Amino acid sequence: MEVLQEPSLKAPAVEVVPVPPHLDSVDGAADGEKREENQHDASSPEGDEPDDDDQLSLYEDMLDGMADQENWEGDPADVCTVEESIAFRKRLRLVGEDQFISETLEARTVSARKLCTAFGIKPPPLFDGQPDHKYYPLLGLGITRELRKRMKLPQYNTIDDAVDLLRKSKRIIVLTGAGISTSLGIPDFRSKDTGLYSQLQHLGLSDPQEVFDISLFWEDPSIFYSVAKDILPSTRKFSPTHAFIKLLQDKGKLLTNFTQNIDNLESHAGILPEKLIQCHGSFATATCVECEYQVKGEEIFNDIKAGRTPRCDRCIRTLRQYKPFGIKRKRSTNGLGPSKKKRQTFEDSTDDEDYDVPIAGVMKPDITFFGEDLPANFHNRLVQHDKDLVDLVLVIGTSLKVAPVSEVSGFLPPDTPQIYISREPCQHIDFDIDMLGECDTIVTELCRRLDWDFQHDMIKKDSIDVQRHEEYDSRYSFKVQSA
């Protein structure tokens, strides 16, 4: 899979592709005027042509905004029901793209706007009132995404199936995200009201995710450090879900834990280094952006907790040793990037000239920002080792919105069963069994059914109610029953 060979976190989970050619001939779009109009981005109804980054950002926003279709509201003429969505998706796979377009858009049995919702894309309000052909790029994206999905394995549907898989499997990949740490008070990123991104509006960024963009860090690291204290691991305590992964390791069942978390709690839980891939790095270490001096992460924690930008101690010592006398200075900006960072100079000059301040380099936690390469061991472990060995995949506490980690599920052999555990369903990947609720609650119930000795001081002794969703054969909700 080419996406997995793209080292950057900027790699989209699904490439933005041209509109399928069939869509270019529907509703009279074959005439020159309409085709030229369709070549403009759907985000610009008036014809303003955006650059590639704007277009990609818009489509990523569409995908990030995909909600559980059970909760979508709107005119039935514009929104597919869950049953209709399932039927359209099955039909697409059964007859192929050409015949599907012929039976739907060309036959005028359904609008492109409504068909978008069948593939998990809810058009934003800026599309309201636009002609139907404006929705073709989104529909093309949805169809392409659907055809690239792994197919659900029909033989796995029940909780008993999940328990049986856990009991029999010996080489389990566990892919984890922020949801396994939220019970410790560490916020996730995308929850609507409690996630970190929802709390960053005050920064005035066009997109809250920019706080983790490497280009913004180079420009002004203080923006990142103004919020870093909110995601800084304040304890070595780990959650029951971390303990569950450790239990899999103790039973000889854990192949690899691929974690997107940067809190390093997997290590505190006892996951062995040879079993752990920290896909997005961690706060365990920090490195100077100037001299590449690396320290333990704890050494910069006091600065982070105080909202200060930590500086390199080695750079400071060097500057104190070699600082010349009589140098004139000017106030330095926070910028570090190539366009803003200036070389230090100790040449004296006249009062009318500008001078740079010789300052110590900024310490950057060894976490992977958007736009940075993932650690090489992510790709190497997955492609050269795990792919041919894995016999079960557990995806826990992640919405799988960040590439290339989001591509792992589709990269693995299609006959490998996959189980999803999180608060909300993942709309863009078909897992074999979905278990929805608090991760700690779900793994506790699984261990109870497995009759495994599962110990953790946060485990609640209350009974757990498990209910199947009516619309799905393999989706379940787990809730603690209050005494």
Task: Please pick, among 22, 280, 428, 456, the residue that the annotation labels catalytic.
Answer: 280
Query: What's the rounded Cα separation, in Å, for the pair 104 and 466?
Result: 38
Query: What's the rounded Cα separation, in Å, for the pair 229 and 196?
Result: 11
pLDDT of 398: 94
> DSSP 3-state assignment of 284?
strand
Extract the tokens encoding 102.
């012929």
Contacts of 282 (CB under 8 A, 6+ apart): 261, 262, 263, 264, 267, 297, 365, 366, 367
Q: Would strands 363-367 and 281-288 be described as parallel, antiparallel, or unpaired?
A: antiparallel
DSSP 197-216: GGG-GGG--SSGGGGGBHHH
Contacts of 235 (CB under 8 A, 6+ apart): 184
What values do phi and psi take at 257, rounded to 5? -105, 105
| CA 280-427-437 angle, 5° bins | 75
Strand partners, 287: 294, 364
Q: Say if residues 303 and 226 touch (Cβ distance below 8 Å).
A: no
| CA 243-247-253 angle, 5° bins | 135
DSSP 78-147: TS--HHHHHHHHHHHHHHHHHHHHIIIIITTSS-HHHHHHHTT----GGGTT--GGGGHHHHHHHHHHHH
Tell me how far the alpha carbon of residue 290 is from its chain's centroid.
29
280 catalytic residue (yes or no): yes
Give me the helix-helix angle, 136-148 and 82-101, nearest 10°: 100
Q: Say if residues 401 and 13 touch (Cβ distance below 8 Å).
A: yes
Q: What is the DSSP secondary structure assignment for residue 128, as one 8-state letter?
A: T
Q: Which of 392, 409, 429 is nearest to 146 (CA)?
A: 429
Cα first-last separation, the chain: 49
Q: What is the largest CA-CA distance in the chain?
A: 82
Query: What's the rounded Cα separation, in Å, for the pair 189 and 447?
Result: 28
Q: How far is CA 335 from CA 85, 219, 332, in A?
A: 49, 4, 8
**pTM for the full predicted model:** 0.68
Query: What's the rounded Cα separation, in Å, for the pair 266 and 258?
Result: 10
Q: Would strands 433-436 and 294-296 be described as parallel, antiparallel, or unpaired?
A: unpaired
Query: What's the rounded Cα separation, in Å, for the pair 190 and 472?
Result: 25
How many CA atoms, within 13 angstroms, populate the side-chain half-sphere of residue 158?
A: 4
Extract the tokens encoding 446.
């699984």
Extract the tokens encoding 441.
């609650």
Mean pLDDT, the chain cut into blocks of 10 residues (483 residues total): 33 32 40 35 38 44 45 70 90 92 94 90 79 89 83 95 98 95 75 54 58 86 85 81 98 97 91 95 90 92 91 89 52 47 36 54 90 87 95 95 85 95 89 97 97 92 91 94 73
